[in-house]
Chain A
Amino acid sequence: MYWVHARRLLFTAGLALTLALLSQGAVLAATETDACIACHSDEDLSITFDGQKISLYVDPEAYQSSVHGAFPCTACHSEIDGIPHSNPIYGDELSIAVSKSCQNCHRDISDEFSSSIHASVGVTCADCHGSHSIERVDSPTSTVYRTNLDDLCAKCHSGEVIESYRESFHGKAVSLGSQEAATCTTCHGTHDIRPFTDPESRVSEENLPTTCAQCHGEANANWTKGKEHVTRAPTGPGAPMYYTYKFFIWLTLGTITVLVVHILIELYGALRRA
């Protein structure tokens, strides 16, 4: 009896304390964010850095409806010190500083990311996820939503790699909103992407069959006999597709021409006899 009472008392006190702290935190965050927004909601607020004009505008509504909208600005911008800011940083330095802030909450992901090719070439969290309007991955307007991924990756990976994907069944299906067809990350992974030359990569010669088999059932070695991300070309790995395409194009043109000529001759005959 005594125990039950004590636990209930403890629980109630704990709950009250938690709620009080949470509301206090929310109020503090709101006040701080309001202070930042007082200047940064000005669409013309900008600075010239490294010869480039950098906008310092933050859309308050977009930020507040983003996944991080309840956090104070300094949760990520921990380098900010006082108003006006005593020691502001911009460009790459800012990206790196903010990426470090991401680690405060997303530790496991940043560990995973640190071994990736993207980390080693200096890609930061914000390059893919955006900054002030980050949304959940399953939100259709998120930069990393499945149907937006090809555009996102194409910011750096242009040319044949993205063209061949858009021409592929996977790409066409995803462009029309498929929830099942493969996007870039289905095969390449997300935070731990490695180059295909790395044996640990999902798309290395050893791992590719297993990666295809995620959806296509069987991890046969034949998955590696032929290249992904090739477009039709008369020479090289695109040649079988190129000649198949050409064969059917000419077969179609030839056949339909003959059939149309035949129809026209019959119609001419009918007209003549009429």
Chain B
Amino acid sequence: MVMRTVEEKRERAFERFNIHHRIQHIMMFTSFILLALTGLAIKYNESAYAAVLTNIFGGFDSMYRAHLVGAVVMLASCAYHLLYLLVYAVWRREISTAVFPTPQDVKDLFQNLSYNLGLTKQRPEFDRYSYKEKFDYWAVFWGIFIMGGSGLIIWFPGIATRYFPRWLIDSAREAHAEEAMLAILAIFIWHMYNVHFNPRFFPMSRVWLDGKISEELMEEEHPKELRRLLRQKGEQPDEG
């Protein structure tokens, strides 16, 4: 078995996000930031922040237009992703199940907590997606469903009243304003920690930018996937 040096592992990169993933992610986060900035001004309309932001946009009506543009971009990124999955499935003649939750994720969660609390020396070994990444992925699905659904209802109440009573539209607005806070807090606390402030990645993971992750980081974060990839390349993994 040939052990590779740390330098070699730092140099060698694996593609984690392909160009489609990266474009989807850039569409998602740019629209998210725009939606959060403008949405907070609408939710907290009495705040000094709302007045300042409204001024920057040259009035409420254009700020609201910007919010709708953000909504279109975010929904487009979602449509792009679903289309990508469909084309991928047809092209490869297989459905990737890597992001589906499994019992192993529950074990990994408890092992990770035990490891950090010092109850075990063994860090969990993640595959392509750790339980945290799976949580993020499905959280976005939930978020898009609630925010996109309620947003479309309150954007097009004329169409919504074909199918829904008035009180449901009012409730959709409540859902929109509150689920937004969950999304904003989750992104700015949890996601920012995971990809920026986590000591492993500080100042940031570059996966979103060039899609690449070093073999060194793969070994730490996705050892099971690394071993599989190396075997596919006909190489002998270091361990396991």
Chain B interface, DSSP helix/strand/loop, else mixed: helix
Interface size counted on chain B using CB atoms at 8 A:
50
In the complex, A175 Cα to B162 Cα: how many Å? 29
Q: In this assembly, does B178 line the interface, its C-beta being within 8 Å of a C-beta of chain A?
A: yes
Interface size counted on chain A using CB atoms at 8 A:
49
Q: How far is the CB of A36 from chain B (nearest CB, A)?
A: 41
Give residues of chain A (253-274) contacting chain B, Cβ–Cβ below 8 Å: 255-256, 259-260, 262-263, 265-270, 272
In the complex, A168 Cα to B171 Cα: how many Å? 11
Q: A220 contacts B182, CB within 8 Å?
A: no
In the complex, A220 Cα to B160 Cα: how many Å? 9
Give residues of chain B (49-82) contacting chain A, Cβ–Cβ below 8 Å: 50-51, 54, 59-61, 63-64
Q: In this assembly, does B30 line the interface, its C-beta being within 8 Å of a C-beta of chain A?
A: no
Give a binary string over A111-140; 1 marks a CB under 8 Å from any B CB, 0 the rest: 000000000000000000000000000000
Known: A172-B42, A263-B190. A256 touches B117 (CB 8 A): no
Central interface residue in B112, B161, B172, by most chain A CB within 10 Å: B161
Q: How far is the CB of A140 from chain B (nearest CB, A)?
A: 12
Q: A248 contacts B174, CB within 8 Å?
A: yes
Q: A232 contacts B174, CB within 8 Å?
A: yes
Contact for A224 among B61, B112, B166, B190, CB less than 8 A: B166
Q: A176 contacts B50, CB within 8 Å?
A: yes
Q: In this assembly, does A217 line the interface, its C-beta being within 8 Å of a C-beta of chain B?
A: yes
Known: A177-B54, A263-B190. A244 touches B175 (CB 8 A): yes
Give residues of chain A (209-236) contacting chain B, Cβ–Cβ below 8 Å: 209, 212-213, 216-218, 220, 222-228, 230, 232
Q: In this assembly, does B104 line the interface, its C-beta being within 8 Å of a C-beta of chain A?
A: no
Give residues of chain B (170-217) contacting chain A, Cβ–Cβ below 8 Å: 170-175, 178-179, 181-182, 185-186, 189-190, 193, 198-199
Known: A252-B181, A256-B189. A269 touches B174 (CB 8 A): no
Central interface residue in B156, B169, B171, B175, by most chain A CB within 10 Å: B171
Task: Give chain B residues whose Cβ lies under 8 Å from the Cβ of A179.
Answer: 59-61
In the complex, A248 Cα to B182 Cα: how many Å? 8
The residue of chain B having its C-beta at the shortest distance from the C-beta of A239 within the complex is B167
Contact for A259 among B41, B113, B118, B186, CB less than 8 A: B186
In the complex, A268 Cα to B98 Cα: how many Å? 29
Q: In this assembly, does A245 line the interface, its C-beta being within 8 Å of a C-beta of chain B?
A: yes
Q: How far is the CB of B181 from chain A (nearest CB, A)?
A: 6
Contact for B168 among A226, A228, A260, CB less than 8 A: A226
Q: B171 contacts A173, CB within 8 Å?
A: no
Q: In this assembly, does B46 line the interface, its C-beta being within 8 Å of a C-beta of chain A?
A: yes
Q: In this assembly, does A240 line the interface, its C-beta being within 8 Å of a C-beta of chain B?
A: yes
In the complex, A175 Cα to B45 Cα: how many Å? 7
Q: How far is the CB of B134 from chain A (nearest CB, A)?
A: 14
Q: In this assembly, does B103 line the interface, its C-beta being within 8 Å of a C-beta of chain A?
A: no
Contact for A249 among B154, B178, B198, CB less than 8 A: B178
The residue of chain B having its C-beta at the shortest distance from the C-beta of A218 within the complex is B158
In the complex, A104 Cα to B161 Cα: how many Å? 45
Q: In this assembly, does A251 line the interface, its C-beta being within 8 Å of a C-beta of chain B?
A: yes
Give a binary string over B92-134; 1 marks a CB under 8 Å from any A CB, 0 the rest: 0000000000000000000011011110000000000000000
Contact for A172 among B45, B167, B181, B186, CB less than 8 A: B45
Task: Give chain A residues whose Cβ lies under 8 Å from the Cβ of B156.
Answer: 217
Q: B165 contacts A268, CB within 8 Å?
A: no
- 23 A-B contacts, Cβ less than 8 Å apart? A169-B42, A172-B42, A173-B64, A177-B59, A178-B61, A179-B61, A181-B60, A212-B161, A213-B158, A216-B158, A218-B158, A222-B165, A222-B166, A228-B166, A232-B174, A240-B170, A241-B170, A244-B175, A245-B174, A248-B179, A249-B178, A263-B189, A269-B118
